[in-house]
Structure 1
């Protein structure tokens, strides 16, 4: 710790803004911004108030157990709580098999926790049923990236490239509210003369900054992307040499987009022909151009294909694998990238290895010192797992770490019903979330500033969170909880509760895999201010040559120094990927021919409107933490529904009226906000609240066939004025 405090990172989104954590003269923890390439010394409201979560009275400090069925949660000591967990696990597995106990993780867990949780499921419980809430966030972009490039890393280039872009296409993202310090990079690009094209049906705070705002009808992003590529082909803007030298499959895509002529796309999407041409020319004429997608493009039943359509556009223009240009996905959750690399997903082992790959199983089994054939096979995806709980043949018990699916899952009323019907629900969480309130056992876990660990931010940069405070008496780390449960279940070794030891083992398990962390150490992270994966122990990056990023700088106290020259520091890992080759065996990227399909639910007489959901600046994810921070909750204690003035007039609704949204699955209520930010046939409601204000009660559960991403962004509803 320096005079500034402890150097660490924000506990919220994947930007992972750097901050100092210190205590004032009264012992109260406070934060201050720290200069770092991603946030450049800035914090949003959530970051500024992050220390409030560490204060007494805002978190759990003792285990809770439900001693009688249907009875209240009561305080208990750790021995009683863990005894109940172990007894429940053994009873269920002895009666119904190993897969009858499931594990559900979170995209906010550190790399060490995500790794040990996956190992716990496969080695201690030997269950196939494990997945995590990142399936609700980045899975479609991950699937599209894997099939296009052979490897998924959200941003395969450093975030500083955004600030240097001459043109940027931003699809389905509103970082002005979801990660405000990111906007510094957008503003830097605009100030230097760069063009920003935003694709979003709403006029958001980000869209208001755009050079050009394209407003497609909900669920038509794929048609728009194909239309933009059609124009690029027709206008001779395709980089034919790049396509020939570095890609495969363009002929099929060229044929697929032939029917997406501009007038047809305008009828499908509502985006004017002139705006389509302008968007393509801004990208094609730019020396450095980026295409970025986020949840607005991905959270659809065709989300993987939608992202593939935008990747196709980027490939046709010759952007990926070119310094200063490319395609990337804006990861949402704090460790959404690392959380999906090390074993929380149903089909993966550490290092982004496939669990059905015999060589991957053999490698990881050697690290874990277990027979390869003892490892279970792939399980089902997150929503499929939640939907199966308590059903015939489904899991009867669930251990849940760092997630709140009662609020965050689609068709949330059904998910809540399934959770209530379990024989055993165990939740580890710093706060009593809506899901924890249903549990049979609640385990109070340490928070971000009370434990060591690493996170992988949206750039693929592995960074350190450092322990600055001791947890309150009665609180344990998730690593300790997993380790102790493993010991009580008969695994006396192999489950350390030391973050550095777990990270070292993670590196061995990831060695040689697509997400190779074997060359990353805590010391190296400290020295370099973060290390980009892949970073094999031999020092060679997957790009063929290690390429340090602009904006990578050492991170010793009292903080990072000036940015080094790009390419000057081979110890940074691989900030820029694909410069020499893509990750497919032949080194070439793949075009994928895709076609527009409508949303799972189209408006009809009974449900005539579209609903879309998202975040607002004051809150994060399910709101379990931010709704407990007075500075964030004041003024935003309740959600709202954005309604166009014409639609409001037809329903005799004025600002502040209570309104109800009704779908085939349920209802939700909120106050009306009258605004032209939404078109007349679209409603918007944030998803940070539970109970009667839970918007996911009405959201549909259609799944993308590839990524298994639920279609959060388009549901058919009707609007009613309450009273």
Structure 2
């Protein structure tokens, strides 16, 4: 039966473009036709399948997907079609597949005739002829499209020994990774996995192998998936119509019919803002709590559609991890003791009141959280200012995009991403600098890779040859610390060659002469010695950017985590102002926010100098507004800007800061010179930590209050494009944990300053009342309409996807003359190399969440990237253990040799406490934004023996 199966039908190579690309055909003439007696007019080029779906007519498909090209191979979507001939007669076409057949004038389509139904039944029976007979045990039972269509069309497995009873495959099941189980015996060769990997992800990990009955889908050289270049985004699983691809993380936790509900929410990892549905089950054991078993793709998710990264799809099991904090902890005689909420809150209130009485409000420091919701960060801001009486409030934006907030605010009047993610598809030129986008923002990187695949020129500027750099039109391997020299040289070329947009400069900017004078000496030849980039390459990059009709700049912490971070950002803004690539679609300056709600935490006033909405604490009218709403006297709100997180730690070291409240932050691992951080926290009289796990920072606390994860609370996150989106509670709080918003409300009440707020929706109403950019946003509206991009000043305002369209927030855009300054530390004889840090795809931030999931199995330890030339000089080979040292300390870890990093530099991440690289990084700061120079410091490397009993992890992924 090898040649009789429906697998033989996959040889048809007819293809059309994705359905999504055939809808936007407004300039084409419409075509009128009839489908099942219903008349419809659609643009020429529309497929019969797409036209039928517009009428609500269901046609079965296995190989078709609206986002992908169509092979028309499964033939399940066949229909009867009659078309008019020149003589006026109707001519019958022989059951063509509707997914690749374009409409034509006067066409008559019938989708459910007996002939059509019988043809579909035959196709299904041919597929079943070779399919395993294990439906009762299959993980996809209940959600398998082949199973559903077999039921609908009355198809069944052929009788044993009959003419249709075909040979079954006996391929081994691929269980080589923690996430995806591949059973190619159940594959119907629809090809969706191959196409989504190539066309959406841009990675081409899967393809067809062999011919005829032996045809299968496999990675290159038929390697196991765990040994391939797969990044485990899971899009292939989401699109697979059968049990050929299933999620191992859900195996044994429940069948599709066990899912009690799906709850739409927003991802808790990076700032891209992906939506998905949490799948919630309750086990049949009486009294057992509900459980989140995984996620389901959300077709209508505004940012990501059905597509996620490995963390969003497979990295959520931390929700139910046994190490979750379930009860409050109070440290007694140096050891934590579980206690009641009443006792824990009383201990905090008593100590806080005593410190406040003795030392005043400025003896406190508060760290808010980029992991917490907008509502929670707003309340933390209100608690710090209105209850404790201090502006000493900050959060991790100080370590990532504080320089963006300062630099873009000075240039444009707003320190946020100017354009929506969707504008990537509308750009004519992409400039990515200091951003490892494919690992830090994987779903957003899909959009960049898709644009590159369509032919959009892209230049990536990075010391490492990241995946995006390898795919780009041009990779400029810049020396660490050379960013400002390069940016000024680009401005020099644009002005020197007359490529600037003179009309835009004249009408919408100020300070051009100041910039012109500042960059006159910044020639490409001057910059070449500082950047390592050839002068002609610099010139060509400037020309490409300036001459493009619509050009976009994307950057992250490779730009901001420098002592010149604010000036780097201003230099990027200069380029956009010079060329007019701002305030229009497909353009803009786009800082990619790191954590899920770091944008929202800034918006909500988790900064020492501003109230929510970036309203200055020094403005008396602003203080009066907030004081009146909070039931305070204006004098009770301090007017002086508070301390940044680095300044708080310095104040703690000298005894000026007595107590801290740290909510969801882990500065022991995330801040520079972490030994210094530990010493500062230990000098405090009293430390309170609010977290979901006993992090390295929480271990130093006097009281630890157990918080809820994102799956256990209501609220909103604001993503990198300023899109405010809902977070919805899927399960009850784990143990006795409480959401951060309630913890803050309880603390305020315990301190005698109760907040009259019943739930997060009421908090958002207060935010809208006091924050002009959020004035039109409410939970009810977000539930009805989906996400809204601020500024959204009124309830009938649609939101603002693009900033600065007609005027800049500050009026006119401001050029800034910024001058090159070398890094705070330069290599020398003792420390001859440059250390840079960053992120890895399979983990996030300090690993608090990601290292308590299946992600840990595939990336269980960190390594140090080094160029082979440097390794040869030191006598190192791949996998050797080394001691990495700076002027602040040393750590040990294995080395990984790669030509993807420039000689003279080394790189590692800050996710692993066992290799806590931030014990080594430099705490020198940008004088404007006070952001530390985490990306550049001098270091040395020497070989050491591995730890006693060390064995290299099996299956470790290395993406270099």
* Residue in structure 1 matched with residue 79 of structure 2 by the alignment: none
Give the C-alpha shift of residue 529 in structure 1. 1.6
Alpha carbons 1:486, 1:495 under 8 Å: kept: no
* Residue in structure 2 matched with residue 54 of structure 1 by the alignment: 319
Mapping of residues 55-454 of structure 1, within 5 Å: 55-68=320-333, 71-153=334-416, 155-376=417-638, 377-392=640-655, 394-454=656-716
* Residue in structure 2 matched with residue 671 of structure 1 by the alignment: 894
Q: Deviation per CA, 1:508-554, whole angstroms, max 9, x where unpaired?
A: 1113xxxx101111122122221111111265xxxxxxxxxxxxxxx
2 CA distance for matches of 1:58 and 1:196? 44
Alpha carbons 1:299, 1:713 under 8 Å: kept: yes
Give the C-alpha shift of residue 108 in structure 1. 1.6
- Give the SS at the match of 1:634: helix
2 CA distance for matches of 1:577 and 1:235? 29
2 CA distance for matches of 1:21 and 1:448? 11
* Residue in structure 1 matched with residue 800 of structure 2 by the alignment: 574
Give the C-alpha shift of residue 328 in structure 1. 1.7
2 CA distance for matches of 1:402 and 1:286? 43
- Of stretches 135-144 and 360-369 in structure 1, the one that deviates more from structure 2 is 360-369
2 CA distance for matches of 1:235 and 1:282? 12
Alpha carbons 2:280, 2:731 under 8 Å: kept: no
1 CA distance for matches of 2:696 and 2:398? 20
Q: Deviation per CA, 1:79-99, whole angstroms, max 9, x where unpaired?
A: 121121112112222222222
Give the C-alpha shift of residue 369 in structure 1. 2.0
Matched, 1:705 2:927: yes
* Residue in structure 2 matched with residue 544 of structure 1 by the alignment: none
Q: Deviation per CA, 1:155-190, whole angstroms, max 9, x where unpaired?
A: 222110012211011111111111211122112322
Structure 1's unaligned 5+ residue stretches are: 540-570
Of 754, 766, 771 in structure 2, the residue corresponding to residue 505 of structure 1 is: 766
Q: Which has the larger radius of gyration?
A: 2
Matched, 1:608 2:865: no
2 CA distance for matches of 1:480 and 1:3? 27
* Residue in structure 1 matched with residue 776 of structure 2 by the alignment: 519
Give the C-alpha shift of residue 342 in structure 1. 1.6
Give the C-alpha shift of residue 448 in structure 1. 0.2
* Residue in structure 1 matched with residue 308 of structure 2 by the alignment: 43
Structure 2's unaligned 5+ residue stretches are: 1-258, 284-289, 946-960
Give the TM-score of the pair, scaled to structure 1.
0.92
Mapping of residues 7-46 of structure 1, within 5 Å: 7-24=264-281, 26=283, 27-29=290-292, 30-35=294-299, 36-46=301-311
Matched, 1:599 2:823: yes
Alpha carbons 2:850, 2:856 under 8 Å: kept: yes
* Pair 262,126 (structure 1): closer, same or farther in 2 beyond 3 Å: same
- Give the SS at the match of 2:603: coil
Of 925, 939, 947 in structure 2, the residue corresponding to residue 717 of structure 1 is: 939
Matched, 1:583 2:809: yes
Give the C-alpha shift of residue 473 in structure 1. 3.0
- Of stretches 3-12 and 616-625 in structure 1, the one that deviates more from structure 2 is 3-12
Alpha carbons 1:524, 1:531 under 8 Å: kept: no
Query: What RMSD in Å do the two structures reach over aligned CA positions?
Result: 1.5
- Give the SS at the match of 2:613: coil
Give the TM-score of the pair, scaled to structure 2.
0.69
* Residue in structure 1 matched with residue 873 of structure 2 by the alignment: 650
2 CA distance for matches of 1:409 and 1:700? 10
Q: Which has the higher contact order (CA 8 A, sep 6+)?
A: 1
* Residue in structure 1 matched with residue 789 of structure 2 by the alignment: 532
2 CA distance for matches of 1:198 and 1:499? 41
Alpha carbons 1:390, 1:396 under 8 Å: kept: no
1 CA distance for matches of 2:756 and 2:425? 43
Alpha carbons 1:533, 1:574 under 8 Å: kept: yes
- Give the SS at the match of 1:718: strand
Give the C-alpha shift of residue 311 in structure 1. 1.1
2 CA distance for matches of 1:288 and 1:40? 25
* Residue in structure 2 matched with residue 464 of structure 1 by the alignment: 726
Give the C-alpha shift of residue 25 in structure 1. 6.3
* Residue in structure 2 matched with residue 660 of structure 1 by the alignment: 883
- Give the SS at the match of 1:103: strand
* Residue in structure 2 matched with residue 552 of structure 1 by the alignment: none
2 CA distance for matches of 1:350 and 1:368? 14
Alpha carbons 2:271, 2:597 under 8 Å: kept: yes
Alpha carbons 2:489, 2:524 under 8 Å: kept: yes
* Pair 164,40 (structure 1): closer, same or farther in 2 beyond 3 Å: farther
May I ask how many residue pairs the two structures share in their alignment? Answer: 678
1 CA distance for matches of 2:261 and 2:426? 31
* Residue in structure 1 matched with residue 104 of structure 2 by the alignment: none
Q: Deviation per CA, 1:420-460, whole angstroms, max 9, x where unpaired?
A: 22211110001111111111111110110100001110110
- Give the SS at the match of 1:572: coil
